[in-house]
Structure 1
Amino acid sequence: MTETRTARTARPGRSDRSGRRRTELAAFLRSRRARITPEDVGMPPGPRRRTPGLRREEVAQLAGVGVTWYTWLEQGRPINVSPQVLDAVARTLRLDAAERAHLYRLAEIPEVPRPAPAAGLPEDLPAILAGLDPMPACVTNARSDVLAWNRGYAALFPFLVNAPEAERNTLWMTFTLPPCCSPFVNLAEEGPPFVAAFRHRYSRHMHEPGWRDFVRRLCAASPEFARLWARQDVAEAGTRLKVFRHAAVGQIATRTTSFDVSGAPGARMVVYRPVSQEDRERVERLINDPDADPRDHVH
């Protein structure tokens, strides 16, 4: 398999959007290459390596593309990229479905057009959320801003639903609350996939100033988020085990599942199903007494 090595002639006035995508593409490819060893792909380890993972020429060899072409791709140069060759690179780097889709977007391979977001959420949504009590549930947009919730969610995360609208964001809450106030018990396990799923959505919005500013502010506010963001991991959202603590009832283990909201592209309903009957009863206690043991202290 071969690919042309001729770089496109730069067009005057080329948008910053394309430049940002190329920068993200370069960082993403380097991070995926670094995680694969020669032994993983049946190659001899060879002499001592200065950096982890495969070399560029090894990726090019395995993908059946020219070394110069792949080097230019990883450097973010504006070269011609075909879906077939990009698929070969994806296979070589062992990308999963979410990572492959992320690679296509960053390489600016055309996708099926998506409908414009709806003006609002479906009118039946509040009743649906209420019907899920005592299972906590909320609706968020692609950036993780919380748009709607039920009583169970409000009882479990009162500081979030009572925050100003601009700060009502689950990602922001997860990584900026001090340890004494954070409800997350297993953040070490669940933080990385949370950030990876956010990056999967981010690649569709990276040209939007609001998204870029949000990431910049969160990186500045949370060294842990900044560390995870720099890893370039990408994943689709899935069912997760999330354990929370509440001063009034102790720990509550939940299984979270998300669903796309019909008529509102980008919006997702996230449902927190208590794992055990005891977990369910603790949520019910919080719903019946939402003001129990408020955390009123000074940091």
Structure 2
Amino acid sequence: MSLIEPTPTPSARPVDAGPRAAPRRTELAAFLKARRGRVTPEDVGMPPGLRRRTPGLRREEVAQLSGVGVTWYTWLEQGRPINASEQVLGAIARTLKLDTVERAHLYRLAGHEPGRPPAIECPFPEELQTVLDALDPLPTAVSNSRYDILRWNSAYEALFPGLMLGEKSRRNSMWATATTPACCNAFLNRDQELPRMVAVLRSGYGQHLGEPYWEEFIRDLLAASPEFARLWAQQDVAAHSARQKVFRHAAVGEVRLTATNLGVTGVPEARMVVYSPMDQQSRDRIAWLMDHPGLPVVDHTH
């Protein structure tokens, strides 16, 4: 198999030579290593071999299957400052069985897609609040890629009053989901949904590596939640999709909802999350909460 990348040299200029280049390379190295560990020789038509010390493919196997030099791929996985063309990244993505979201994440980490400003720093169209209010009694909020809650309607506030009362710096659904103790957590199917939320967050993080706004938030989450730290280390990435979520409120009990994510034009990386009741009982309970606003979600305090 012919190689499609020359032997690297220490002076090779990286595609992304700005201040975020080093964090990107570090994240790229961790992502490649994690994905390599999840592909078995059998997955790519190779014999399993004997006495493999690590799970997944070896570096030299990834290099061979991708048609690149072993030294070059090793340096890439070590976070060395070398170029990685889109052609080469595509070959590696195929070898590692990356899906569409993972492939886009790989390209961003390699510097082939510029980052964009977070939605929280952009002007918010005031007419969007009119749309949010018109969606009552469907709980609806606008969030950015960091899960900051930017705007919401009265149904959302009735269902999640704690998020609205907190400090603006922590008005964040990821923070609430990952750090709230189980006894106080309104998210009943959290164990099923948190892994995907973390994967979506990492996909957004790939566009903002090295930005203080993001780095401080991730550091705080890693320190505050061992579960988040475990999931973050898995290097999973995912895109938003419609999800079924079950919440509980001390005043009414379970509320079963389908969360639908919609893009917001004019606000970079923003999305509108509309929660639709899955049954009449959930619809009635939301209506009751709207008639009795401000009730606490849990029946005790610490």
CA distance in 2: counterparts of 1:254 and 1:294, whole angstroms: 16
2:26 is matched with 23
Instruction: Identify which of 79, 83, 86 aligns with 2:86.
Output: 83
1:177 aligns with 2:180: yes
1:156 is matched with 159
Instruction: Identify which of 49, 58, 62 aligns with 2:61.
Output: 58
Instruction: Identify which of 258, 261, 278 aligns with 1:258.
Output: 261
Letter in 1 for 2:125: P
Q: In the TM superposition, what is the alpha-carbon distance from 1:195 to its structure 2 partner?
A: 0.4
- The CA deviation string for residues 123-172 of structure 1, in whole angstroms up to 9 with x for no partner, is 21111111111111001122111111011110111000111111101110
CA distance in 1: counterparts of 2:223 and 2:175, whole angstroms: 11
Instruction: Give the stretch that moved more between structures: 96-105 or 113-122.
Output: 113-122
Contact 1:116 / 1:265 at 8 angstroms: preserved in 2?
A: yes
Cα RMSD for the two superposed structures: 1.9
CA distance in 1: counterparts of 2:149 and 2:117, whole angstroms: 22
Report sequence identity in percent: 57
> Following superposition of structure 1 onto structure 2, how do residues 220-239 of structure 1 map, counting pairs within 5 Å?
220-239=223-242
Question: Does the C-alpha gap of structure 1 residues 293 and 163 become closer, same or farther in structure 2, counting only changes over 3 Å?
Answer: closer
1:289 aligns with 2:292: yes
- The CA deviation string for residues 169-227 of structure 1, in whole angstroms up to 9 with x for no partner, is 11100111111211111111101110000111111111211210110011000000011
1:4 is matched with 6
Q: In the TM superposition, what is the alpha-carbon distance from 1:16 to its structure 2 partner?
A: 4.4
CA distance in 1: counterparts of 2:139 and 2:127, whole angstroms: 17
CA distance in 1: counterparts of 2:298 and 2:189, whole angstroms: 20
1:129 aligns with 2:93: no
Contact 1:218 / 1:225 at 8 angstroms: preserved in 2?
A: yes
User: What SS does the corresponding residue of 2:184 show, helix, strand or coil?
Assistant: coil
2:146 is matched with 143
Instruction: Give the stretch that moved more between structures: 67-76 or 223-232.
Output: 67-76
1:73 is matched with 76
CA distance in 1: counterparts of 2:104 and 2:237, whole angstroms: 10
Instruction: Give the stretch that moved more between structures: 59-68 or 166-175.
Output: 59-68
CA distance in 2: counterparts of 1:143 and 1:136, whole angstroms: 20
Letter in 1 for 2:228: F
2:278 is matched with 275
CA distance in 2: counterparts of 1:297 and 1:81, whole angstroms: 54
CA distance in 2: counterparts of 1:206 and 1:115, whole angstroms: 12
Q: Which runs of 5+ in 2 are unaligned?
A: none
CA distance in 2: counterparts of 1:94 and 1:204, whole angstroms: 22
1:205 aligns with 2:208: yes
User: What SS does the corresponding residue of 1:22 show, helix, strand or coil?
Assistant: helix
Letter in 1 for 2:67: G
Contact 1:135 / 1:152 at 8 angstroms: preserved in 2?
A: yes
CA distance in 2: counterparts of 1:113 and 1:298, whole angstroms: 41
User: What SS does the corresponding residue of 1:35 show, helix, strand or coil?
Assistant: coil
CA distance in 2: counterparts of 1:136 and 1:298, whole angstroms: 25
User: What SS does the corresponding residue of 1:283 show, helix, strand or coil?
Assistant: helix
1:103 aligns with 2:91: no
Letter in 2 for 1:143: R
TM-score in terms of structure 1 length: 0.93
Question: Does the C-alpha gap of structure 1 residues 80 and 226 become closer, same or farther in structure 2, counting only changes over 3 Å?
Answer: same
Letter in 1 for 2:266: G
Contact 2:249 / 2:298 at 8 angstroms: preserved in 1?
A: no
CA distance in 2: counterparts of 1:69 and 1:36, whole angstroms: 20
TM-score in terms of structure 2 length: 0.93
Instruction: Give the stretch that moved more between structures: 73-82 or 14-23.
Output: 14-23
User: What SS does the corresponding residue of 1:134 show, helix, strand or coil?
Assistant: coil
Q: In the TM superposition, what is the alpha-carbon distance from 1:298 to its structure 2 partner?
A: 3.3
CA distance in 2: counterparts of 1:60 and 1:42, whole angstroms: 15
CA distance in 2: counterparts of 1:183 and 1:106, whole angstroms: 34
Letter in 2 for 1:64: G
1:249 aligns with 2:246: no
